[in-house]
Amino acid sequence: MIARAAGDLGAVPERSAEPGDLPGLAAAAREEGGRLVSLWVEDHDAARPRLCVALACAASGLTLLTVPLASPADGYPSLAGIFPAAGRLERAARDLTGIGAEGGDSRPWLLHPPAPYPFVTVGGEGVHEIPVGPVHAGVIEPGRFLLSVVGEKILRLEERLGYTHRGIPGLLRGRDLAAGAPLAARLAGDTTVGYAWAYAQAAETILGLSPPPRAHSLRAVALELERVANHLGDLGALGTDAGFAFGGSQFAILKEELLRLNRTLFGRRYLIDLLPPGGVAFDLAPTGALRLERHLGKLARTAAELRALYDDHPGLRDRFRSTGIVPTDLARRLGLTGLAARASGIARDLRAERPCPPYAPFRLAPAVRHEGDVLARAGVRFAELEVSLELVRALLADLPPGPTALPLPRTPLKERGFGWIEGWRGPLFVSLLADRGGTIRDAHLHDPSWENWPALEHAVVGEIVADFPLVNKSFNLAYSAVDL
C-alpha cells in the first residue's frame, strides 16, 4: 500500500513486518543514518491491533512500518536499545492500549497509579534528592522533576510527565476530517499553527486535495509568525533566567507588540483555528500585508540590536557558554531533533530537507551551531528569528492571487494520510486513518519534545542546581504535547 502525502512528502511506503523482524529493520535503518519519527499502536480494530513505526532517512524520506499483532495480549520487541526515544513512546502506547514492548522499561508513563512512581535512585555519601513540581510557579505546564545532587552538583535528573492527559486520539475517532482539525490545533497552544498545518496536510492527502497557492503562502506566513513569537519569548526568558532583566523586558515588549498585531490582522493573538483542511480561514488585504511588513522590518532591526547586546554581555556569555552541553555524538544517539539538534551540529530542518509549498524556492539553509550549550541554542534562535522575519516579508511581497481555500471533497481517495511540518521546536508528525466515508478511525500526533526530553536529562548532569532552570528554558520543551 502507498500513501501519498500533500506537499512534497512524496510517496510514503507502508511496509508490513513481523514482530521478530522489527529490531533488524530498525537497526538497518539506523545504520543508514535513519531516525525514529514516531511509534504508536493502532487499536481501532480491537481484535487486530498493530504497531506503527515511522522512520525517516535522508535518502528515502518517510517510511511507515506496520507490525500486525495477533491479539491485544501480544507484545513486540522494544526498540529503545536502537532508538532511545522509543522507550517513552512504548510506555505511552502500553498505557493507552495495554499493548507493551517486551524487554523495555515497564514503568507507567501516562498512567498515574496511587503507588509512588519508581524514580531511578542514586546512592552514595552526601547524595540527596530535590523534588520539583508537578505544580510550578506562574502558568507553566505541570511536570515533576527529581534532581539527585551532591552539594550543588547535579548527578542525575529524571522527569515525570503525564499530568494533562486529554485523550485526543480517542476524541478524534468518529469525527470527520474537518471536525477533527480544532482538536489537533489545541494539542499545544504555542504550536497551534504547526499542528493545524500538519493535520491539514494529512487530511488533504486522504481527500486528494491540494490547497490553492495563496493558501500555501498564507500558511507559511502564519507558521513563521508563530516561530518568531516563540523565539522572542524564549530569548527574553533566557535573559531573565541569567539575570539580564533588561533583555527579558525588551523581548517581552517585542512579543507583545507582535501578538497585538496578530489580534488586529487575524482576529487572534495566537493564530488558532486559521489553518483548516483545504486552505486557510483568513486573508490579508494589501493594507494589512503592508502594515505587517513594516512592523516586521522594525522588529528585525530591534532584534539585531538586542542580539548585539546579548553577544557583548559578559554576564550572559558566562552563564550561557559551556552550560547544558549536548555533544553532537550524544545528540545523534538520542535522536535529538529540531532547534536543539541544530544547536548540537545536526543540520536537519524539514523546510530545507523536505520543503512543502511554498518553501522550496527559498532554499533555506538550517541554522546550525556545534557547541551544543545554552549559548548555541540561543544562537540558533537568533539566526532563525532573522530568517523567519526575512521570509515572511518576502512572502508578503509576492502573495499569489486567487482563493484562500477549496471545498473538501465528500469522498476520500486514500485511507491514510501523513503530515510532517517543521514547527518552531522541531518536526511535527501527524498520521490519520479514515474509512471510506471520511470518518477518522485512528489518529496519532507526535511532538519533537518526545525525543528531546531525555537529552535535557543528560544536559544538566554536572551542572549546578541554579543552572537547571536556565538549561531547561534553553530547550523549552512541551509538557502537554507529549500527553495526548
pLDDT tens figures, 400-434: 999 999 999 989 999 999 999 999 999 999 999 99
**pLDDT over 70 (residue 467):** yes
| Three cell numbers written together for 460 | 544538566
- Residue 36 contacts residue 62 (beta carbons within 8 Å): no
Alpha-carbon distance 378 to 449, whole Å? 17
Q: What is the pTM of this model?
A: 0.96
Q: What pLDDT digit, counting tens, does each position of 68-120 carry?
A: 998 777 889 999 999 999 999 999 999 999 999 999 999 999 999 899 999 99
Q: Do 2-102 and 175-443 show the same overall fold?
A: no
Alpha-carbon distance 416 to 168, whole Å? 18
Alpha-carbon distance 161 to 165, whole Å? 9
Q: How many helices (H) and strands (E) does the chain have?
A: 15, 13
| Three cell numbers written together for 34 | 535513519
Sign of CA dihedral 367, 373, 374, 375: negative
The Cα-based distances of 462 to 210, 284, 329, 405 in angstroms read 50, 50, 18, 52
Where along the chain do its domains lie? 2-102, 175-443
**pLDDT over 70 (residue 165):** yes
Residues 454-476, mean pLDDT to the nearest whole number: 97
Grid cell 539506523 in the structure block, residue:
30
CA-closest candidate to residue 6, choices 158, 183, 197, 180: 197
Residues 441-467, mean pLDDT to the nearest whole number: 97
Q: Residue 404: count other Cβ atoms within 10 Å of its Cβ.
A: 19
Q: What pLDDT digit, counting tens, does each position of 3-54 carry?
A: 333 444 556 889 999 999 999 999 999 999 999 999 999 998 888 899 999 9
Question: Which pLDDT does position 103 carry in this prediction?
Answer: 93
Helix (H, G, I), strand (E, B) or coil at 91: helix
Question: Which pLDDT does position 4 carry in this prediction?
Answer: 31
Beta bridge partners of 303: none
DSSP 43-83: -SSTTS-EEEEEEEETTTEEEEEEEE-SSTT--EE--TTTS
DSSP 10-51: EEEEEEE--GGGHHHHHHHHHHTT-EEEEEEEE-SSTTS-EE
Alpha helices in 176-285 (DSSP H): 177-184, 192-207, 213-241, 245-266
- Residue 206 contacts residue 416 (beta carbons within 8 Å): yes
Residues 251-273, mean pLDDT to the nearest whole number: 98
Exposure of 394 in the CB half-sphere (CA atoms within 13 A): 14
Exposure of 277 in the CB half-sphere (CA atoms within 13 A): 31
Question: Which pLDDT does position 73 carry in this prediction?
Answer: 76
Beta bridge partners of 442: 433
The single-letter DSSP state of residue 400 is P
CATH topology of domain 175-443: Cytochrome-c3 Hydrogenase; chain B (1.10.645)
Helix (H, G, I), strand (E, B) or coil at 107: coil
Question: Which pLDDT does position 8 carry in this prediction?
Answer: 44
CATH topology of domain 2-102: Beta Polymerase; domain 2 (3.30.460)
Question: Which pLDDT does position 26 carry in this prediction?
Answer: 96
Question: Which pLDDT does position 70 carry in this prediction?
Answer: 81
Of residues 355 and 10, more confidence is placed in 355
Question: Which pLDDT does position 140 carry in this prediction?
Answer: 84
**pLDDT over 60 (residue 187):** yes
Element containing residue 154 per DSSP (H, E): strand 153-160
Sign of CA dihedral 452, 142, 188, 239: negative
Which residues does 466 contact at the CB level (< 8 Å), separation at least 6? 152
CA-closest candidate to residue 227, choices 139, 338, 337, 142: 338
Q: What pLDDT digit, counting tens, does each position of 115-156 carry?
A: 999 999 998 999 999 999 999 887 789 999 999 999 999 999
